[in-house]
């Protein structure tokens, strides 16, 4: 944790991140911790450097999404562990986009691990640990006042667009985006105007990312199952994206080296082509 963060008033602390009051109204500083937990909290470890990698990868991906017009709470990366974000009203739903069978989807429906789905599936889960994050439908969300139908439509549209973009980007560096979790928030632009934005993070903590050729898991499943070195997998993803941080020296060499421009541009073109084809 930086001295910069220690001097700030803590706004909220979760399992893997801390939010501090930002330097300007309507902003927060999001600091990534090294804590690593399973969904049910049964397993917990502090893995040195993990927060740095997650901040680096999430900052890179969200900045690229901002560039193509996908609204994110991310404003800029501040240092190796922290980023400046917009203060939003979080919608307490986890949105999971699945491209292949893995995890609970494979268990629920008896699917073979890695089986490619006919089309991407979007699932919604109420973010409530004490209830074990139950799956919810659009009807649940509207009936319980969690989100309105127009908001759910916008969330679904953004989730599918993000999936197209990130899938193309990862494929460009030999990685398969199997599934990933998104969170969204309401950003109030004025007293009468708000928009739905991507919030939280997009990192190997919330994605399943496999090597295309070997189907080797490079993500948090290594921690869940105890098979493989978690940090080695995260470093592999960061290196392929060209944003590998030098955690040993305390400097960050990521962001510009091998800036992933080609893969990002290909992913952007693919997403735009799919949008045009769907009209």
- Domain identity same for 95 and 173: yes
For residue 226, the model assigns a pLDDT of 92
pLDDT > 90? residue 7: no
CB 64 within 8 A of CB 255: no
pLDDT band at residue 267 using 50, 70 and 90 as cut-offs: low
Q: Which of 96, 63, 43, 81 is nearest to 208 (CA)?
A: 96
- Domain identity same for 187 and 270: yes
Please tell me the total count of domains within the chain.
Answer: 2
Of 88, 106, 134, which residue sits at a domain end? 88
- Domain identity same for 69 and 120: no
pLDDT > 50? residue 186: yes
Q: Report the distance separating Cα 56 and Cα 216, nearest Å.
A: 22
3-state SS class at 37: strand
Q: Report the distance separating Cα 33 and Cα 68, nearest Å.
A: 29
Question: What pTM did the predictor assign?
Answer: 0.87
pLDDT band at residue 272 using 50, 70 and 90 as cut-offs: low
Task: Sort strands 93-100 and 193-199 into parallel, antiparallel or unpaired.
Answer: unpaired
Q: Per residue in 112-155, pLDDT tens?
A: 999 999 999 999 999 999 999 999 999 999 999 999 999 999 99
Q: What CATH code is carried by the domain that includes residue 32?
A: 3.30.200.20
Q: Per residue in 152-169, pLDDT tens?
A: 999 999 999 999 999 999
Residue 17 covered by a domain: yes
- Domain identity same for 137 and 179: yes
For residue 190, the model assigns a pLDDT of 83
- R_g over Cα of the chain: 18
For residue 209, the model assigns a pLDDT of 98
- Domain identity same for 140 and 181: yes
For residue 109, the model assigns a pLDDT of 96
For residue 259, the model assigns a pLDDT of 41
- Domain identity same for 222 and 271: yes
- Domain identity same for 148 and 62: no
- Domain identity same for 40 and 160: no
Domain extent, residue 190, equals 90-230+262-278
């Amino acid at each position: 944790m930086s001295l910069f963060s220690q001097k700030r008033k803590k706004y909220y602390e979760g399992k893997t991140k801390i939010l501090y009051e930002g330097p300007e109204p309507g902003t927060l500083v999001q600091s990534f911790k090294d804590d690593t937990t399973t969904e049910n909290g049964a397993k917990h470890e502090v893995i040195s450097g993990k927060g740095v990698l997650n901040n680096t990868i999430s900052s890179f991906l969200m900045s690229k999404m901002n560039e193509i017009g996908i609204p994110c709470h991310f404003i800029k990366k501040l240092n190796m562990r922290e980023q400046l974000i917009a203060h939003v009203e979080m919608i307490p739903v986890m949105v999971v986009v699945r491209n292949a069978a893995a995890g609970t989807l494979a268990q629920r429906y008896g699917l073979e691990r890695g089986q490619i789905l006919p089309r991407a599936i979007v699932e919604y889960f109420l973010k409530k640990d004490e209830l074990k994050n139950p799956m919810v439908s659009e009807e649940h969300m509207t009936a319980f006042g969690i989100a309105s139908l127009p908001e759910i439509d916008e969330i679904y549209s953004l989730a599918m667009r993000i999936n197209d973009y990130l899938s193309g980007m990862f494929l460009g560096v030999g990685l398969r985006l199997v599934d990933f979790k998104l969170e969204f928030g309401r950003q109030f632009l004025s007293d009468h105007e708000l928009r739905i934005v991507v919030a939280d993070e997009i990192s190997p903590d919330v994605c399943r990312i496999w090597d295309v050729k070997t189907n080797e898991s490079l993500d948090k499943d290594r921690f869940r199952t105890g098979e493989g070195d978690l940090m080695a997998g995260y470093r592999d993803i960061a290196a392929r994206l060209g944003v590998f941080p030098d955690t040993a020296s305390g400097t960050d060499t990521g962001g510009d080296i091998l800036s992933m421009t080609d893969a990002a541009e290909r992913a952007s073109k693919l997403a735009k082509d799919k949008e045009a084809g769907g009209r």
